[in-house]
Structure 1
Amino acid sequence: MSDQFGRKATLIVSAGSKGLDLSQLRFKFEVRQADTQAPNTLYVRVYNLAPATVKAIQGEFTTITLQAGYESGNFGIIFQGTIKQFVRGKERNVDSFLDIWAADGDEFYNFGMVNQTLAAGSTPKQILDSITKQNADAGKLPYATDVNGLVGGVPAQALARGKVLFGMSRDYARDWAAKNGFRWSIQNGQAVVVPVTGYRPGEAVVLSSTTGLIGVPEATSDGVRARILLNPLVRIGCLVQIAQADINTLTIKQQGLSYTGLSAAAQTTAAGFYRVLVSEFIGDTRGQEWYCDLICLAVDTSAPASSSVQAAG
């Protein structure tokens, strides 16, 4: 765990090419990311800003970027999004604060429109391009680089006739994902599309007592829950590996009886591979917290990548 010693974090608010670095101040944060279409969220409290700085942040800046990790280890972006709300106040006479709430991809989600005509023969990839690239601000929503291959692997069911797309981009993205067997979400300003029963490519993040696993993971009806030291390598849809012996499991013996409303615990696997469904980063640059809480589903890596996620038992 030598590479997980010495915390490092940067917090930058910006607007266009103009930015303000708040990294030297004390701040604490909560980031919630999930494998859902709803925007991810950030809450951050920054302490003891000068009144002029508070006024500038509230009036001039629209984007916030949070990076976190370790001085000699993994370090990277864990949130990038649009500032939505401020609260200014005091915890005590000597400590003032500015609370900032932000959302990731909410401009696309809440205001993104598509208004295009697709020709006969358009592929699912071309349809998704049309949905994601036409935004409310006429910008582009790039694909995460590691999922481009998965996008290209969708069924090649070309349109038999032309089609008009007009309406909210999120609605068309939802319909596209449901039709082609994918889940879609926006992670740090990038479109992520992953098979419903698959995972993002790349090496699994190994989680153990020597690599940042805290306490004992537990198999619940929601999935396998685990707490780890903050790690920017953990992303929605990626693989993590936890030894089966390290997980508390629940076994129910029904003995021929049927119980309604009784949720079974999520499956575990001998190989220990799991897909990340929810990650919640919690940190304090001057305090104790520096964690990430995960909810995961078991993955059979011996099966095809697009059909490897296992349901609850």
Structure 2
Amino acid sequence: MRQNWIRHFELQLLNHNGVGVNLSDFKVNFKIEWHDINQPRIATYIKIYNLSTDTTNNIIGKEYSKIRIIAGYSGIAPEVDASQVGTVRPVDPTQSGQRDGQNFGMIFSGDIRFAITGRDNPTDTFVLIQAIDGHDAFINSTISLTLAAGYTLEDEYNILLNNLAPFSITSGFRPVFPLSRSPRGRVFYGMTRDYLDNIARQCKATWQFVDGCLDMVPKDQAVHPAIVLNSETGLIGMPQQTMDAGVNVRCLINPNIRLNGLIQLDQASIYRIALPDSAIRAAKDKIIPAETNGIITTEIPSADSKSESENLPASLATDGIYIVRSITITGDTRGQDWYMDMMCEARENTDKVSDSTLLKTGA
């Protein structure tokens, strides 16, 4: 057995009873979009190559309803049984994601919504799957009940959570709820997701179903402590400061990094960008970045209009700690891609972001 850091990958297709097959030994391409909005995480595509006709028909049909991807890196390369390469294996029910002592874990779990077959060339066929995390609960969960006067926002959260139990959704990250009580009773009737939107607005948070949990994360909180990213821990290239959305970071797939979690960068490694021509023309004095409470911002001195002070470099954090607001994961089990592309912002920043960024982050 040789010692080496290698990629770890598992692709599991499951039926409603949690029984299924493991397709980890096949060539697979995938892309997962995970943004800080009140919408489910989505697997844009998962392409599995050169499956048998029977397996293909089972996927296209109604045999499997859920899909899971476990990925990252293993510390030890296992012995490979050549006879098992490229075969369909049953799912081991005892293996369900993060493993102790290993840097791999669940990066996607969701409901299969669409599957088609195709061919890249005369010899390579594929099945393409598109899936959404928590889709069944998001689309089908409804509520019809009444709360008496004196209920709190946490009471409302708990009844919504109980209403999601039939869809196997449990409580995940939750905010600190205000203690005020409603002076009137309330009738709940409609989609559960609409009432979750209301709670999230009052808590200045966003919510999602993630791996079977309801996560509701306020904008000023993080779901995990800072994970250091550098050339020795998976950072690829130099983080890039942007005009309106913080800092763009690329690293190798790391399941420990989650949406609304923290990462720590070497501030000197961030590639700083220049001002646009319009900002230079608008400035009447020399432009010097200002530091306030650990946040580095750039403003145009003596700008004549609001429009002239917009489209400036995003704020940076002097301590190098950023909140992850968007993650795109791309992988190819037989190719180069094995990346997480993240859009991050400095803590406590007050930047005004563009409409395209708002669609991704819900800011």
TM-score, normalising length: structure 2: 0.77
- Indicate whether 1:159 and 2:197 are aligned: no
Q: After superposition, give the CA deviation of every residue in 1:153-194 in whole Å (9 maximum; x if it has no partner).
A: 221122222111111111111111112222212222321111
Aligned to 2:213: 190
- What displacement does 1:251 show? 6.0
Name the larger-Rg structure: 2
- Counterpart CA distance in 2 for 1:266 and 1:74 is 31
- What displacement does 1:223 show? 2.0
- Contact residue 4 and residue 70 of structure 1 kept, 8 A: no
- Indicate whether 1:260 and 2:307 are aligned: yes
- What displacement does 1:311 show? 2.2
- Indicate whether 1:293 and 2:346 are aligned: no
Q: Which runs of 5+ in 1 are unaligned?
A: 300-308
- Indicate whether 1:131 and 2:160 are aligned: yes
Q: Alignment partner for residue 59 of structure 2, among 57, 63, 86?
A: 57
Q: Single out whichever of 179-188 and 62-71 deviates more from structure 2.
A: 179-188
Aligned to 2:349: 310
- Counterpart CA distance in 2 for 1:269 and 1:81 is 34
Q: Alignment partner for residue 330 of structure 2, among 251, 260, 282?
A: 282
Q: Secondary structure at the match of 1:57?
A: helix
- Contact residue 259 and residue 325 of structure 2 kept, 8 A: yes
- Contact residue 136 and residue 167 of structure 2 kept, 8 A: no
Q: Secondary structure at the match of 1:171?
A: helix
**Number of residue pairs the alignment of both structures matches:** 295
- Contact residue 59 and residue 115 of structure 2 kept, 8 A: no
Q: Secondary structure at the match of 2:325?
A: strand
- What displacement does 1:140 show? 4.1
Q: Percent identity?
A: 32
Aligned to 1:302: none
Aligned to 1:303: none
Q: Alignment partner for residue 205 of structure 1, among 209, 214, 227?
A: 227
- What displacement does 1:118 show? 1.3
- What displacement does 1:7 show? 0.4
Aligned to 1:44: 46
- What displacement does 1:197 show? 2.4
- Counterpart CA distance in 2 for 1:238 and 1:203 is 7
- Counterpart CA distance in 2 for 1:271 and 1:142 is 35
Q: Secondary structure at the match of 1:92?
A: coil
| Aligned-partner residue type, residue 38 of structure 1 | Q
Q: After superposition, give the CA deviation of every residue in 1:213-243 in whole Å (9 maximum; x if it has no partner).
A: 1111112112211111111111011111112
- Counterpart CA distance in 2 for 1:4 and 1:112 is 46
| Aligned-partner residue type, residue 80 of structure 1 | S
Q: Alignment partner for residue 67 of structure 1, among 59, 67, 70?
A: 70
Change (3 A) 1:198 1:260: same
Change (3 A) 1:123 1:259: closer
- What displacement does 1:74 show? 0.6
- Contact residue 31 and residue 280 of structure 1 kept, 8 A: yes
Change (3 A) 1:119 1:23: same
**How large is the Cα RMSD of the aligned pairs?**
1.9
- Counterpart CA distance in 1 for 2:212 and 2:247 is 27
| Aligned-partner residue type, residue 323 of structure 2 | R
Aligned to 1:227: 250
Change (3 A) 1:17 1:250: closer
- Contact residue 116 and residue 130 of structure 1 kept, 8 A: no
- Contact residue 133 and residue 140 of structure 1 kept, 8 A: no
Aligned to 1:304: none
